[in-house]
Chain A
Amino acid sequence: MNLIIVFLQKAIAQGIAILYGANGEIVTEKSGNLNLGVPGMMYMGGVAGLMGAFLYENSVENPVPFVGMLIALICALVCSGLGALIYSVLTISLRANQNVTGLALTTFGMGFGNFFGGSLSKLAGGVGQISTQATASAFRAKIPVLSTLPVVGEVLFSYGFLTYLFIVLTVVLSWFLYRTRKGLNLRAVGENAATADAAGVNVTAYKYLATLVGGMLAGLGGLYFVMEYTGGTWVNNGFGDRGWLAIALVIFARWRPLNAIWGSILFGGLYILYLYIPGLDRSMQEIFKALPYVVTIVVLVITSLRKKREDQPPMSLGLAYFREDRG
């Protein structure tokens, strides 16, 4: 019983970072941009938030957790937003190939994260881990009272605010996409940019905004991982392949934010399942870690067989749009 509760709790904690990245990517893909730079932007958001918090905590005598948290949030949003901006300028304005640009952004973002993360460790005195405990404590603060409830408290109320913020954000995002005019316009841009354009939708603006917001959401996912999951420290390449899991989750959720919520918990659970199965050696662990991808492939096979149009990716995903293009 206890083991199950711990497993659930860890699965959710694991899932949130993925969920941030996935929803960021859903918004981006709804505008027809396939941004494979999600892992990179998660690194960028994470390390920038950490740097902001670290510099703040080192420059004042008694760091206030709340201020540190704000600084970390702003840094993460700005930095991951910049990553998305690079991608947007290249793919939307200059119409570069989206796959290549996205992969380059991931490579860049990971290097960026590891470089500055490593530098921070050096600034902190060379050896070992850096720590931004005050800020992390703000991110990790649990809900009072509710979190002390047995079972329910542990499974549902034992997380920092980013978790709850994101559940709310996901619901809002879903409402936005399917119940508002702007959301309809955004979906149309991703399906058929020429049609949206002819209907008077500013395609370029929608693509830029969706990609920027998507990048920022991914950055928050990185920040969540650094601050809440690992408690304000940095390990080079500590992210593992969570960024790619986020992209797989987009497909798994069939581009619907609400599906991504439970999908993220499933992915999180599958990702850490190996820790809870006794007697696995290293190679078996890696196989277990690949389970989310297997599930994604199964979903792909099933949706391909069912051929339901609503379950397919946005039609012009990956294509640049140029109004006067003939042919």
Chain B
Amino acid sequence: MQSNAMIEMRGITKHFGSVVANENVDLTVRRGEILSVLGENGSGKTSLMNMLAGIYFPDAGHIYVEGREVVIRSPKDAFALGIGMIHQHFKLVDVLTAAENIILGLPGKLRLDMREVERDILRLTEKYGFEMDPHEKIYEMSVSQKQTVEIVKMLYRGANILILDEPTAVLTPQETDRLFQVLRNMRQQGHSIIIITHKLNEVLSLSDRVAVLRKGHSVGSIQTSEATEKSLTEMMVGRRVDLNIERPQPVNPRLKLKVRDVTVVNDEGREVLSHAAFEAYTGEILGVAGIAGSGQKELLEAIAGLQPLRSGSIEYTNRKGHVKELTRMTAEEIREIGIRLAFVPEDRLGMGLVASMGMTGNMMLRSYKRGRGFFSERKQPRSLAERIMRELDVVTPGVEWPVGRMSGGNVQKVLVGREIASSPQVLMVAYPVRGLDINSSHTIYRLLNEQKKNGSAVICVGEDLDVLLALCDRILVLADGHVSGTVDARDATKEQIGLMMTHHDAKEAQP
């Protein structure tokens, strides 16, 4: 055993019912290093880390911290060993302030002196260069602010081994840079950091070493300096993978959707989308870029008939060239006049699928209106579910298994599969590859391209600019609810789009 090993995991095995999450996995974390744990969805990265953090308890195997064998039964045990984990879904209490969240569960005097706590926290944030107001309530914060609270929370507890589960999934490029800077600062101070990710460029730019998991088994670990995107992908997937995203030229594009002057107001009366206008064509993929919460969700929902418009119009042109106005229609009315709009929402298990139902039941949500008899028809949805399971490689014990228990990538495949099965004329997808690994992501890109070739107008809201630039034909950029412009994805740059994401008046200022 090496003397500079902070954590050693040996022969870790964990099953969930009949599903194997981890089988005989070994992992070593060294002092003062940033280790990437890389793997596809369902490869057991998060389960493995949850066992370090005391959320799950391993079925078999040994864990050593600084050479001593330990048993981690609860998050409390993990803290005592200096292990802190920042989960993908933040573990913060919304109605409490940042400071209250940070000291939650800590021992101390019965009486709570918040002023003293806040002073301690400010000292800590200054040391590492965080920006945070300990007084602010969590529900008032942005995603990246919440993440900061999580990190400070772990540091306040004296964590010297920090585990981050997909920390950049919800951040803008600038926020990601700032996070990485903080992580590097922490490494300098001697902390060990484990980062779970499947973004290869992040692995290469941030970490010292990479450990790769595949289907619950450890494949091995290598120095980042010896790794390339290609070699890592091969380790992760187990075979050669073409990393290039295909982008066929649009064939015979015709106007499909014309959105004019659309304004949407949210519950609090704020304009979340102001006078947005754009056009979508058949046979092309229109990307939508923007910082999270810039009106992407409202834009798609407005088209799908799920958001009432304050002003503006949405026009749909059918194959014969007739124009139909969808402006005041609900999703149901749009369907009734024979327009097939498919919408894959960001909130997969909330808006897209019913978590407690199986694949068959979820297929029926789309088709039950077609049934004529009193009894529901399950045969067709079932065969559709089986087809999706087969063609998209959905990993699940069966088509009746609750979709809420599947991993994120599989959930997305079910949802996209269902929407595409209706052969839509307009396909709208929001963050289609969020939380998905390379293989699943490429499956989704392939499906979007297929729809494009079939002559659908595809609208894709994305967060990874590299992907948008490689996949889309044109990119619409939103900034704070305004359309700041549309660029040709074939010759635009990431920096150009990044700038447009933050300044919606930039175009007007410098014509």
**Are A and B part of the same complex?**
yes
Chain A residues with a Cβ under 8 A of chain B: 179-185, 187-188, 191-192, 194-202, 307, 309-310, 312, 315, 323-324, 326-327
Which of B104-112, B198-206, B391-399 participates in binding chain A?
Answer: B104-112
**A-B contact list, 29 entries, CB within 8 Å:** A180-B110, A180-B111, A181-B106, A181-B111, A184-B100, A184-B104, A185-B104, A187-B96, A188-B105, A191-B96, A192-B94, A196-B93, A196-B105, A197-B75, A198-B85, A199-B101, A199-B106, A200-B76, A200-B79, A201-B104, A201-B105, A309-B95, A315-B95, A323-B55, A324-B16, A324-B55, A324-B57, A326-B16, A326-B405
Interchain nearest-CB distance for B150 vs A (Å): 10
Q: A184-B96, A188-B105, A201-B105 are in contact. Are A194 and B91 (CB under 8 A)?
A: yes
Nearest chain B residue, comparing its CB with the CB of A314: B95
Residue of B109, B112, B153 with highest tally of chain A CB at under 10 A: B112
Smallest Cβ distance from B200 to chain A, in angstroms? 27
Q: Are B75 and A179 in contact (CB-based, < 8 A)? A: no
Chain A nearest CB from B404 CB (Å) reads 4
Instruction: Check B87 for interface membership: any CB of A closer than 8 A.
Output: yes
B495 at the interface (CB under 8 A from A): no
**CB-based nearest A residue for B403:** A327
The answer, among A188, A195, A327, for a CB contact under 8 Å with B405, is A327
CB contacts (< 8 Å) of A315 on chain B: these are 94-95
Docked complex: B89-135 residues within 8 A CB-CB of A: 91-96, 100-101, 103-112
B55 touches A309 (CB 8 A): no
B53 within 8 A of A: yes
Partner of B92, one of A179, A195, A200: A195
A309–B91 contact, CB under 8 A?
no
Which among B91, B108, B109, B355 is the interface contact of A195 at CB below 8 angstroms?
Answer: B91
Q: How far apart are A1's CB and chain B's nearest CB, in angstroms?
A: 45
Residues on the B chain within 8 Å of A194, using CB: 91
- Is there contact, CB below 8 Å, between B74 and A181? no
A277 to B92, CA, bound (A): 51
How far, in angstroms, from A201 to B85 measured CA to CA in the complex? 15
Report which of A179, A199, A307 forms a contact with B104, defined as CB distance below 8 A.
A199
Which B residues lie at the A interface, using CB under 8 A?
16, 53, 55-57, 74-76, 79, 85, 87, 91-96, 100-101, 103-112, 137, 139, 153, 267, 349, 355, 402, 404-405
How many Å lie between the Cα of A104 and that of B404 in the bound state?
A: 30
Are the C-beta atoms of B112 and A185 separated by less than 8 Å?
no
In the complex, the answer to whether A327 meets B110 with C-beta atoms within 8 Å is no
Which of A181, A194, A202, A315: most chain B Cβ within 10 A?
A181
Least distance between A230 CB and chain B CB atoms (Å):
38
Could you tell me the distance between the alpha carbons of A310 and B139 in the complex, rounded to whole angstroms? Answer: 11
Most A CB atoms within 10 A — which of B76, B93, B101, B107? B93
Evaluate whether A198 and B94 lie within 8 angstroms (CB atoms) in the complex, with A180-B110, A184-B100, A184-B103 already known. no
Closest-by-CB residue of A relative to B92 is A195
Contact, CB under 8 Å: B137 / A309: yes
**Alpha-carbon separation in the docked complex, A184 to B355 (Å):** 32
**CB-based contact B402/A182 at 8 Å:** no
The CA-CA distance from A201 to B54 in the complex, in Å, is 12
Alpha-carbon separation in the docked complex, A179 to B85 (Å): 28
Q: How far is the CB of A147 from chain B (nearest CB, A)?
A: 35
Q: How far is the CB of A263 from chain B (nearest CB, A)?
A: 21
Q: With A181-B109, A327-B405 as given contacts, are A198 and B53 in contact (CB-CB < 8 Å)?
A: yes
Given contacts A200-B75, A327-B404, contact A181 B139 (CB under 8 A): no
Q: How far is the CA of A221 from the CA of B77 in the complex (A)?
A: 40
CA distance A195 to B405 in the complex (A): 20
How far is A147 from B85 in the complex, measured between Cα atoms in Å? 60
Q: Which residues of A contact B16 (CB under 8 A)?
A: 324, 326
A202 to B16, CA, bound (A): 23
**C-alpha gap A202/B106 in the complex (Å):** 11
List, in ascending order, chain A residues with CB within 8 A of B75's CB.
197-200
Name the 10 nearest CB pairs between A and B, nearest first: A199-B105, A200-B76, A327-B404, A195-B91, A200-B105, A201-B105, A199-B104, A198-B91, A191-B93, A198-B75
Q: Which residues of B contact A196 (CB under 8 A)?
A: 93, 104-105
> Are A191's CB and B95's CB within 8 A?
yes
Q: How far is the CB of B178 from chain A (nearest CB, A)?
A: 24
Residues of chain A within 8 A (CB-CB) of B405 are 326-327
**How far does the alpha carbon of A302 sit from the alpha carbon of B212 in the complex, in Å?**
54
Query: Which residues in A have their C-beta under 8 angstroms from that of B101?
Result: 195, 199
Question: What's the nearest-Cβ distance from chain B to residue A29, in Å?
Answer: 14
Task: Answer whether A198 and B110 are a contact pair too, CB < 8 Å, given A191-B94, A192-B93, A192-B94.
Answer: no
Q: Which residue of A lies closest to B137 (CB)?
A: A309
Report if A188-B55 is in contact (Cβ < 8 Å); known contacts: A198-B87, A200-B79, A327-B355.
Answer: no
User: How far does the Cβ of B362 sit from chain A's closest Cβ, in whole Å?
Assistant: 14
A187→B95 CA distance, assembly (Å) = 10
- The residue on A at minimum CB distance from B109 is A181
User: When the two chains form their complex, are residues B112 and A309 in contact, meaning their CB atoms are under 8 A apart?
Assistant: no
Check A200/B96 contact, CB under 8 A, given A326-B405, A327-B355.
Answer: no
Chain A residues lying within 8 Å of B355, measured Cβ to Cβ, are 327
Closest to A191 in B: B93
Q: Which of A195, A200, A326 lies in contact with B106, CB distance below 8 A?
A: A200
Contact B110 A181 (CB under 8 A): yes
Query: Given A188-B105, A200-B106, are A309 and B111 also a contact pair (CB < 8 Å)?
Result: no
Known: A184-B103, A201-B105. 15 other contacts (CB 8 A): A182-B110, A187-B96, A191-B94, A192-B92, A195-B104, A196-B93, A198-B85, A199-B104, A199-B153, A200-B76, A200-B79, A201-B104, A323-B56, A326-B16, A326-B405
Chain A residue with the shortest CB-CB distance to B76: A200
Note all chain A residues with C-beta closer than 8 A to B100: 184
CB-CB under 8 A from A307, the residues of chain B are: 267
CB contacts (< 8 Å) of B103 on chain A: these are 181, 184
> How far does the alpha carbon of A200 sit from the alpha carbon of B55 in the complex, in Å?
10
Q: Please name all residues of chain B whose beta carbon is closer than 8 Å to the beta carbon of A179 when the two chains form the complex.
A: 111-112
When distances are taken between beta carbons in the complex, the residues of chain A under 8 Å from B110 are: 180-182
CA distance A170 to B466 in the complex (A): 58
| Cα separation A184 to B57 with both chains bound (whole Å) | 27
Expressed in whole angstroms, the Cα–Cα distance for A130 and B53 within the complex equals: 60
The complex places the Cα of A182 from the Cα of B108 at a distance, in Å, of 9
Shortest distance between the CB of A321 and any CB in chain B (Å): 12
Cβ contacts under 8 Å, B108 to chain A: 181
A202: B residues at CB distance < 8 A: 74, 76
Give the distance in Å from the alpha carbon of A196 to the alpha carbon of B96 in the complex.
12
Q: Is the CB of A188 within 8 A of B93?
A: yes
Output the least CB separation between B121 and chain A (Å): 15
In the complex, A185→B94 CA distance in Å?
A: 14
Which residues of chain A are near B139, meaning CB under 8 Å? 309
